[in-house]
Structures are given as structure tokens and as C-alpha cells.
Amino acid sequence: MSETYVKPTVQSVTSLLAMIYGDDLNTSDLDSASISGQRIATFINDDDKLVAACVCNREFVVYSGAALSMIPAGGAEEMIAENSISDALAGNFHEVMNICTKLLMSDDSAHLRLDKTLDCAQQTDLVSSLDALATRLGFLVEIPGYGKGAMAIYMN
């Protein structure tokens, strides 16, 4: 197997996340540099080496987690306005990122797995180190019934 991983596209992000959130989910390209991160998910290979990361803004974290638990959109909006993310939503976001490993793998690629999901504010060194990863892809994801959030995928 190759150590090369799959570069996600608008179509692959839409296809994967629509399985969770429904066919009304919309995704578009976004400049990864414009995404201000709230949480970061790290993906490692079988040698425990960081091979990819996904930085998501507050809206993506809250909307993806709230929709997974069917928390009303008003409750999600309150969390965004209060700049808070409940432990339950952080756990749901972790599960969404675990599913997102499928965005980076194919039958021919090496295996990778989700390592951790962390608060970006507490991981400034890790966030800074993402510049060493060659590929940066940004996506704007509209979760039906909730709203739009952004995710940036960094990978070798």
C-alpha cells in the first residue's frame, strides 16, 4: 500500500457527510487560510506519525455535533453566541471526525486513524506545525436545519 492519502473534494465531503446529515447537505470550496479554528482533529498512521489534521471553526463543531444529537438549532445558536461547546457536542464532533477518516483513505492508501480532537486555543504549537503539511483544503459545509461551518484539512 502507498503512504499517499486521498485528497478530499467537495464531492467526497458532501457524499460522506450527507450519509450522516441528509441529502440536503451542501458543500463548497473555501480558502483554508480563512478558517479560524475552534477544534482540531489529528490523524495518525500506523507508526503514530501525524499525517493529517482537520481544523474546524466553532460553527462546524457546534452544528455537526448538535445535528448528530438532534439538539434544536436554537440551542446550537445559543452555544455559538455564548462561545461555548458542551462536552456532549465535543464528543459528537469527535465521532464526526472519526467518520471523516474515510475522506482520506482508499483501498490503495495506507491506513490512518483519528488520534485526538482538541481545542485549538490550547494547541498553538500543534496548529503552528500544520504549515509543514503540504496540502491545505478548505470546505464550507451547510448542515441542513442548522447552518454553515468551515473545515480545513491539512495533509502531506
Q: Would you kindly state where each structural domain of the chain is located, as residue ranges?
A: 10-155
> Tens digit of pLDDT for each residue in 88-117?
999 999 999 999 999 999 888 889 999 999
Tell me the CATH number for domain 10-155: 3.40.1550.10
Nearest C-alpha neighbor of 155 from the set 22, 51, 72, 65: 51
- Distance between CA atoms of 57 and 84, rounded to whole angstroms? 12
**pLDDT of res. 3:** 66
Q: What is the pTM of this model?
A: 0.91
> Tens digit of pLDDT for each residue in 44-65?
999 999 889 999 999 999 999 9
CB neighbours of 123 closer than 8 A, spacing ≥ 6? 40
Task: Tell me the residue type at 20.
Answer: I
In the chain, the largest separation of any two C-alpha atoms, in whole Å, equals 46
How many helices (H) and strands (E) in the chain?
Answer: 5, 6
